[in-house]
Structure 1
Amino acid sequence: MRLPLPPRLWLAAPASVSMSHISMSHSDAELASLTVAALKERLRERGLRVSGRKADLIERLSAPLSSPSPGPPPPLPPPPRAPRRPNSARPPVPIDATPRKAGAAGPGARRLRAASWNVAGLRGLLRREEGRSTLRRLVDEEGVDVLMLQETKLQESHVAEVEAALYEALGGGEAWRAAWACSTARKGYAGVSTLWRRRVGDAACRPLSVDPAHEADREGRALLWELSGASAVGGGGGGGGPRLKLINVYVPNSGADLQRLEYRTDRAAGWDARFRAAIAAQATGESRVCVCGDMNAGTTPEERASLRCFLAPPLGMRDAFRQVHGRAAGQYTYWSQRARARPANRGLRIDYFLLASGVPPAAVVDVQHLQEMHGSDHCPILLELDLARL
């Protein structure tokens, strides 16, 4: 809507003076005494031309000043912008399950709670109070037994120092064991670490090779953690049973200019295809295999199709989060920091627990995205398994 213009303001003048010609004459002697610069300044004040000789400037100033003809109205100010909503994204749908804490099943329960978290640089995380606080909350409030970290960005020479700082953040190293895979192809790049409580039982961890012929295999991308079937968690009973294997993985990123996209997603010889073969080799006999970590499933059709290959035959894995929470929306695990996407919950779900077919659905107690925990551009994800049902 166009607003009315404010009324013009006019100077009062004697009735004998015409409003169209308000006299502002000066004596020639007074004007002649001024310098050319001073004359030009007076002309500029009146909006008159300043070119010409001094006599021309005096003549222009001596002439009666006509009232300016009304010009086009000044432009209206732009309408006020509507206040921006703090979160314009679709609000998330609450997940359809109540988080369960460790030990909730009562005495004798054989539960294992595993967490996976891309920390985007472990040394930096440990220097920040927010990062240390999240690590402590994971082990204290969430009762995590196995903690799998991705993108640690450590060189092998840094491990001892960082491991000590990590144990301190977790409340003391006497309760924990750790295994590391560091990049030897590029410094300060990739890397994964798996930590587990000593009380978990008879467990061991080693690097998992995916493609020995490619530099990606020297970037510290996968660790295989194995828990023997005779082990118990949370004070439960012993006895034999199938072996649980947790694969901690940081899948190679396709790159900002997709230079690794084909290598990642080629169905015959790509990294993802070789990784699926490595999973199948571990899921033999009575072994129960779970892949945990950052699958780096970006937004290209090739990456999304490659992720679906993990769920399709012959491997036939299950997305543990979808098994428990169906089609719950707004549940992301990664948000771009450069785009400040986290407050608006504009993210991607690229961190997963993928279960091999040997893991029975009844063994999955709960899966959570711990979105309220900060410290990285990813949030931790949590899986609780009932070992007795394996």
Structure 2
Amino acid sequence: MKLVSWNVNGLRACLGKGFLDFCAVADADIICLQETKMRPEQAEFDLPGYHRYWNSADKAGYSGTAVFTRRQPLSVTYDFGIDEHRHEGRVITAEYPDFYLVCCYTPNSKDQLARLDYRMAWEDDIRDYLLDLDAKKPVVYCGDLNVAHQEIDIKNPGPNRRNPGFTDEEREKMTKLLSSGFVDTFRYLYPDKTGAYSWWSYRFNARKNNAGWRIDYFIVSERLKDKIRNADIWSEVLGSDHCPVVLDLDV
């Protein structure tokens, strides 16, 4: 099974930059999107062969996730946990016979780390949610998780040490998640690979210079690690400030 995750930074804009051509070439079984910034009634495009599920933020033009899947899930749920987590369209959970798929757009800690306290609460709650799912069947957790976990995952770790997405606190929450029985699929296969990034600032020719961050992930339950056939980052795909990440899983 081939799964793709992509923060499209506005799906309507991405549609004008070749999104449907990408879908045809990718030939994925499941496509997970983050930062769709749209409601399903605005989705005036054809994607034959896929069931489409949307979770939109209360605020128009903000956040949002979507899952396009060839295999119809057994069930689909939206958001999780306390009410505070349920207004920005950040999580879709699709249940399949052999696993749960969780598509997530993790809240950014914002400038001056204005939202770091909320981010810490979110991380604890999403980890508990994933562990609850994992107790029933394995989990595939993907999306823009808004953290570069290790120094190898960011071009310039020193100057970014206290920037959103590379604080010690956010990185420690990722470490805690992975130590709870989950595997970062890309680093499982490529523990020492450098220059592998999934997001680049629009400023300072960052993408041209590959001055990026790896903040988009496929994370799976530990017991699925032997089923990982490949994990990849398609940095050549344009259309957003992020690029797609890919997982081939034997399920």
More strand, by proportion? 2
Q: Does the aligned pair in 2 maintain the 1:146–1:196 contact within 8 Å?
A: yes
Structure with the greater alpha carbon radius of gyration: 1
Q: Does 1:136 align with 2:21?
A: yes
**Uncovered stretches (5+) of structure 2, i.e. residues with no partner:** 148-164
Q: Does the aligned pair in 2 maintain the 1:341–1:347 contact within 8 Å?
A: yes
Measure, in 2, the Cα distance between the counterparts of 1:254 and 1:317: 23
Q: Output aligned runs, 1:11-22, within 5 Å.
A: none
Measure, in 1, the Cα distance between the counterparts of 2:133 and 2:73: 18
Residues 69-124 of structure 1 deviation map (CA, whole Å, 9 limit, x = unaligned): xxxxxxxxxxxxxxxxxxxxxxxxxxxxxxxxxxxxxxxxxxx1000000011112
What amino acid maps onto 2:169 in structure 1? E
Q: Does 1:181 align with 2:52?
A: no
What is aligned with 1:193?
Answer: 66
Q: Output aligned runs, 1:76-155, within 5 Å.
A: 112-126=1-15, 128=16, 130-132=17-19, 135-137=20-22, 139-154=23-38
Q: 1:203 to 1:250 in 2, by over 3 A?
A: same
What is aligned with 1:279?
Answer: 130
Residues 305-325 of structure 1 deviation map (CA, whole Å, 9 limit, x = unaligned): 12211112xx22110001112
Q: Does the aligned pair in 1 maintain the 2:35–2:64 contact within 8 Å?
A: yes
Q: Output aligned runs, 1:310-329, within 5 Å.
A: 310-312=177-179, 315-329=180-194
Residues 220-260 of structure 1 deviation map (CA, whole Å, 9 limit, x = unaligned): 110001112xxxxxxxxxxxxxx211100000000122111
Q: Does the aligned pair in 2 maintain the 1:120–1:376 contact within 8 Å?
A: yes
Q: Does 1:261 align with 2:91?
A: no
Q: Does 1:208 align with 2:79?
A: yes
Q: Does 1:159 align with 2:159?
A: no
Residues 109-145 of structure 1 deviation map (CA, whole Å, 9 limit, x = unaligned): xxx100000001111212x2x233xx423x3333201
| Bigger relative CO (Cα 8 Å, ≥ 6 apart) | 2
What amino acid maps onto 1:261 in structure 2? L
What is aligned with 2:156?
Answer: none
What amino acid maps onto 2:141 in structure 1? V
Residues 341-379 of structure 1 deviation map (CA, whole Å, 9 limit, x = unaligned): 0000000000011112232x2211101100000000000
What is aligned with 1:251?
Answer: 106
Measure, in 2, the Cα distance between the counterparts of 1:153 and 1:145: 23
**Uncovered stretches (5+) of structure 1, i.e. residues with no partner:** 1-111, 229-242
Q: What TM-score comes out, normalization by structure 1 length?
A: 0.58
Q: Does 1:335 align with 2:197?
A: no
Q: Does the aligned pair in 1 maintain the 2:51–2:72 contact within 8 Å?
A: no
Measure, in 1, the Cα distance between the counterparts of 2:169 and 2:143: 19
Q: Does the aligned pair in 2 maintain the 1:179–1:206 contact within 8 Å?
A: no
Measure, in 1, the Cα distance between the counterparts of 2:86 and 2:220: 23
Q: Does 1:308 align with 2:189?
A: no
Q: 1:159 to 1:260 in 2, by over 3 A?
A: same
Measure, in 2, the Cα distance between the counterparts of 1:272 and 1:247: 14
Q: Does the aligned pair in 2 maintain the 1:367–1:384 contact within 8 Å?
A: yes
Q: Does the aligned pair in 1 maintain the 2:93–2:100 contact within 8 Å?
A: yes
What amino acid maps onto 1:142 in structure 2? A
Paired residues, number: 234
Q: RMSD of aligned C-alpha atoms?
A: 1.5
